[in-house]
Amino acid sequence: MKNFRKNRKGTAEVIGTIMFIMILLFFFTNVYLWHDAATKDANQLNLQKINSSFSIVQVGNNIVLTANGGSNIDLCRLWIVEGGLNGGHFFADLTSVEVAAGTNFTISFSTQTVLSGSSANQVTDDIAGNGATVNYHVQSTITCTAVNTLGIEKSTTFNP
């Protein structure tokens, strides 16, 4: 036993193996924790998407957005696509619009401005209360698509 204690051969290999196992444990623990956090974030985003459904319909000369889900929706953009081969596409930024769950938001179109070309800056919005007025004169059938901040979009056809 006395010779065994004094024999130092192989000590470096044992210490190196123990350090290697500790490094592997540290690495795989971090990978597991990162995966767990990413999975929780993805599940939370899916839950928000499920709870933030909305609908868009034409009511008279207006478009009405209704928040159908259990949480508020934050709108970010209204796309306007004109019909026909030469139809333009425009958008109105609705970044400050939050529609409470179960309520409506009305978008009306101004009859003062006639837009032409494809410049997106020609479409503006004037947000007031539970509605907005988009400076766009509807002359023919258009497709309106509302997009919220989670990327969910709903479309309707608007007939003047």
Q: Identify the three-state secondary structure at position 55.
A: strand
- pLDDT given for residue 20 in this prediction: 97
- pLDDT given for residue 16 in this prediction: 93
CATH number of 54-158: 2.60.40.1260
The rounded distance, in Å, linking the Cα atoms of 16 and 37 is: 32
- pLDDT given for residue 160 in this prediction: 79
- pLDDT given for residue 31 in this prediction: 96
Residues of the chain with pLDDT under 50: 118
- pLDDT given for residue 99 in this prediction: 87
The rounded distance, in Å, linking the Cα atoms of 91 and 80 is: 6
The pTM score is 0.66
The rounded distance, in Å, linking the Cα atoms of 91 and 115 is: 12
Tokens of 13: 């290999």
Q: Which residues contact 44 (CB under 8 A, 6 or more apart)?
A: none
Place of tokens 């056809």: 157
Tokens of 120: 């997106």
- pLDDT given for residue 23 in this prediction: 97
